[in-house]
Structure 1
Amino acid sequence: MRKFLVGACCLLLIACAATETKQDTEASRERARVHTELGAGYYAQNQIAVALEEFELAAQINPSYAPAYNGLGLVYGTLREDEKADAAFRKALQLDPKSSETRNNYGSFLCARNRIDESIVQFMEAVKNPLYVTPGVAYMNAGTCLLRKKDIKQAELYLQHALQLQPQLFQAGYQLAVIAHSRGEYEAARDYLKPALESDSPTADMLWLGIKLAREAGDRDSEASYALQLRRKFPHSEQAKRLLSGQ
């Protein structure tokens, strides 16, 4: 009887320990998630030092929480600590190979370092995940990266696919407009660029291309409108300087 009681007590202790371990793991994961989200918020506000602290704390609290390492990869990449960034992204993917967000971020990091072929692998792995919410972004990044390699044909295919998936990706439309303009396909260029120019946030590059396309079409009203926006929104930009110099 005593042996039975001892055995029962041991089983009870094991069960309790397992429950406590599970609760501790869930609690640490939740704390890591909170600090990772804080880090992401600080990173978005360009408060890099504080973001780094939050991501490091998240990884310390739960060393198996993949998003924390994704955040560390972004921060180290921004700080140009490339070896640390590469290691952090790889750690994140080791923990969560299906994370399309991490693969997209890692691909962007690799592209910025001219590791173009490696970056395309990451972007294409990202879009394989049927649960990825923004696959158009990965296709757009892949297309933009291939432009560095002068692989215009494949870049164009990726950028077009990005727009098909997410028509609001104005940067993809801009890149396609640049390609069309370089070929003298001005009408196609205007069609690609139009949604961006009609949005609330065209970039200086978009407005400058809009000005050139309007000039080529003899559309003085549009040219004047884009020029006014360029001077107001980006008065110190290179594009505004070109405009003022009569280019």
Structure 2
Amino acid sequence: MRFGSVWMVMALALGGCVASTDSDLTAEQRESRVRSHTTLAMGYINNGNFDRAVEPLKRALELDAADPEAMLAQAALLERQGDTALAGDAYRRLLSVNADFTRGRQNYAAFLFKQNQLDAACAEFDAVVADTLYVNRAQAFENLGVCRLRMDQIAPAVVAFERAYGLDGSRPLPSLELASAKYDQGDVQSAAFYYRAFLGDSRPNARSLWLGIRIADAIGDRNSQGSYELLLRNEFANSPEYQAWTEWKP
């Protein structure tokens, strides 16, 4: 086990019992130092300098073992280092101490999703979107939609994507998923609406072009259909979608 991970195990065990050597600090000074140490640690974590993140993170948690940002940084470091079980423990401890820390819950939900714990991940995403004051609520609804889709729960996935689109119509993934869902439901006009929204905010890929071909065909838009077919043939000739198109076309 790496040095950083050894220290993390100790920190998790000690929790709020870590003794502070800064008892003379005011509350404002203590908070400022926690922020500074945590920001420095997160900079190292984001750059992959995990060993260098340990000392400032340790100092932050010594100053305030229940600080949500420091605890989130601890969980992130463990996750990035591949210490999955310890990361899960750190996320759960974070939320047991800071139950209203929605951004931390969002990160925990994403962690669970990556571990393929889909039931738990979707439940956490549900809790995230319930926070009407969460600043990244559109992203959270998008994540919830993806989670429901992975579980083949199409109807709630569509609802989540519709909420994401309603909050931020510039997000390409909800637009594409809604276009696909509406096409599958036979609502080709709505499918075309969402597909146009997708094209306005994202570069096409093999999947989106194949979907666009079928939507354009369904609404009789031959010019767009021809353009999508040309792009699919020229740029994605080795894709499964290209093969599906060659078998589908007259």
TM-score scaled by structure 1? Answer: 0.72
Per the alignment, in what secondary structure is the counterpart of residue 167 of structure 1?
Answer: coil
- Paired residues for 1:130-169 under 5 Å: 130-169=132-171
Larger radius of gyration: 1
Deviation for aligned residue 1:197: 0.9
Deviations along 1:57-112, one digit per CA (max 9) or x if unpaired, are 44212123433443454565566543133123223323432222221221122233
Q: Distance in 1 between matches of 2:154 and 2:223?
A: 32
Is 1:56–1:68's contact at 8 Å kept on the other side of the alignment?
no
User: 2:116: which partner in 1?
Assistant: 114
- Paired residues for 1:1-247 under 5 Å: 19-20=24-25, 22=27, 25-39=30-44, 42=46, 47=47, 49-50=48-49, 52-53=50-51, 55-63=53-61, 64=65, 65-74=67-76, 76-77=78-79, 81-227=83-229, 238=239, 242=243
Percentage identity across aligned positions? 23
Is 1:70–1:89's contact at 8 Å kept on the other side of the alignment?
yes
Letter in 1 for 2:59: I
Deviation for aligned residue 1:36: 4.4
Letter in 1 for 2:175: G
Is 2:110–2:121's contact at 8 Å kept on the other side of the alignment?
yes
Deviations along 1:150-197, one digit per CA (max 9) or x if unpaired, are 222222222212222222222112112222222232222121221111
**Which shifted more, 161-170 or 196-205?**
196-205
Q: Distance in 2 between matches of 1:105 and 1:237?
A: 36
Is 2:129–2:137's contact at 8 Å kept on the other side of the alignment?
yes
Q: Distance in 2 between matches of 1:67 and 1:59?
A: 10
TM-score scaled by structure 2? Answer: 0.71
**Structure 2: gaps of 5 or more residues:** 1-21
Deviation for aligned residue 1:207: 3.2
Letter in 1 for 2:131: N
Q: Distance in 2 between matches of 1:240 and 1:67?
A: 44
Deviations along 1:24-77, one digit per CA (max 9) or x if unpaired, are 62343132232244246x3xxxx5x32x34654442121234334434545655
Is 2:175–2:195's contact at 8 Å kept on the other side of the alignment?
yes
Letter in 1 for 2:84: D
Deviation for aligned residue 1:23: 6.1
**Structure 1: gaps of 5 or more residues:** 1-16
- The structure with higher relative contact order (CA 8 Å, sep 6+) is 2
Evaluate the alpha carbon distance shift between residue 31 and residue 114 of structure 1 in structure 2; reply closer, same or farther with a 3 A threshold: same
Q: Distance in 2 between matches of 1:71 and 1:202?
A: 36
Q: Distance in 2 between matches of 1:58 and 1:242?
A: 53
CA RMSD, Structure 1 to Structure 2 (Å): 3.3
Per the alignment, in what secondary structure is the counterpart of residue 160 of structure 1?
Answer: helix
